[in-house]
């Protein structure tokens, strides 16, 4: 049975705190919430369910967005029409990154930010993430392009950072000669 998640708004101070590391084994409540996050993000990217449940499309969520300051992120990445790769990373860290900087040309969005925010968010083009899966096994993920942006966006949530914090207020847009826009 699908349950639409209650996602906290940007004004909630929980989004500005540094989250604590999660400990293993994860509780049943934590595991259940992770599954609900996967379901919510998946449904939000399938037009039929997006309409039926009035969801905003999104590819990532972090625990603080559910009001819990724990270092857990979920990304549901559409790799082909209605085909998704799911990533659940507990205590994720960026262990290396490219020098190249990119930005989403259309800007970024966030399920906790219920307004349009214009501007380019500079991100590493490629990142390597280390962390743990739900069972506590160490994992390493290499991400590039859109997926790299998603990981950086979600890990920021664990450190109390929102995407628009990275937008240069004096010069919110970059040219193609400055950073690569995707
Ligand atoms: Ni977000």
pLDDT at position 3 is 86
Report yes or no: 55 and 4 within 8 Å, Cβ to Cβ: yes
Per-residue pLDDT tens for 139-156?
999 999 999 999 999 999
**Ligand 1 mean position to 58 CA, how many Å?**
9
pLDDT at position 114 is 96
Dihedral over alpha carbons 129, 143, 182, 179 (to 10 degrees): 50
**Ligand 1 mean position to 121 CA, how many Å?**
13
Global pTM reads 0.97
Neighbours of 149 (CB within 10 A): 25
Token pair of 80 as six digits? 């082909």
156-168 exposure pattern, b = at least 16 Cβ within 10 A, e = fewer: bbbebbbbbebbe
**Ligand 1 mean position to 101 CA, how many Å?**
19
The percentage of the chain sitting over the pLDDT mark of 70, rounded to a whole number, equals 100
Per-residue pLDDT tens for 4-32?
999 999 999 999 999 999 999 999 999 99
pLDDT at position 1 is 80
pLDDT, average across residues 57-64: 98
**Residue 75: beta bridge partners?**
60, 87
**Ligand 1 mean position to 112 CA, how many Å?**
6
pLDDT at residue 40 above 90? Answer: yes
Known catalytic membership, residue 30: no
Catalytic residue among 10, 130, 154, 178: 154
**Ligand 1 mean position to 64 CA, how many Å?**
10
- What is the average pLDDT score of the chain? 97
Per-residue pLDDT tens for 69-111?
999 999 999 999 999 999 999 999 999 999 999 999 999 999 9
pLDDT at residue 39 above 90? Answer: yes
């Amino acid at each position: 049975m699908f349950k639409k998640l209650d996602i906290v708004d940007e004004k909630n101070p929980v989004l500005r705190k540094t989250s604590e590391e999660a400990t293993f084994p994860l509780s049943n409540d934590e595991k259940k919430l992770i599954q609900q996050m996967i379901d919510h993000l998946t449904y939000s990217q399938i037009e039929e369910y997006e309409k039926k449940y009035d969801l905003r499309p999104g590819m990532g969520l972090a625990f603080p967005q559910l009001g819990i300051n724990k270092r857990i992120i979920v990304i549901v990445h559409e790799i082909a029409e209605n085909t998704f790769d799911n990533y659940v990373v507990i205590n994720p860290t960026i262990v290396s990154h490219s020098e190249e900087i990119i930005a989403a040309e259309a800007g970024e969005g966030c399920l906790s930010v219920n307004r349009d925010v214009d501007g380019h968010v500079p991100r590493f083009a490629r990142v390597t993430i280390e962390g743990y899966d739900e069972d506590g096994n160490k994992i390493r993920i290499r991400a590039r392009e859109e997926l790299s942006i998603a990981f950086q966006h979600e890990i920021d949530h664990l450190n109390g950072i929102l995407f628009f914090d990275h937008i240069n207020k004096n010069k919110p847009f970059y040219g193609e000669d400055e950073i690569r826009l995707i």
